[in-house]
Amino acid sequence: MLSVYEALQLMLGFGSFLLSFIGLIVIIVK
């Protein structure tokens, strides 16, 4: 079972990865 802190850290890491991925797509498209 994940602790609240671990789950939050995982979500933050995934969110930052998603943002950088979207930024990369925007740069490629433009």
Give per-residue pLDDT as tens, 1-30: 679 999 999 999 999 999 999 999 999 998
Distance between terminal CA atoms of the chain? 43
What pLDDT is recorded for position 28? Answer: 97
What is the Cα–Cα distance from 30 to 27, expressed in whole angstroms? Answer: 5
What pLDDT is recorded for position 2? Answer: 74
What pLDDT is recorded for position 30? Answer: 87
Q: Which residues of 3-20 are buried (b: 16+ CB within 10 A; e: fewer)?
A: eeeeeeeeeeeeeeeeee
| pTM score | 0.56
Contact indicator for 2, 10 with CB cutoff of 8 Å = yes
What is the Cα–Cα distance from 21 to 17, expressed in whole angstroms? Answer: 6
What pLDDT is recorded for position 1? Answer: 67
What pLDDT is recorded for position 23? Answer: 96
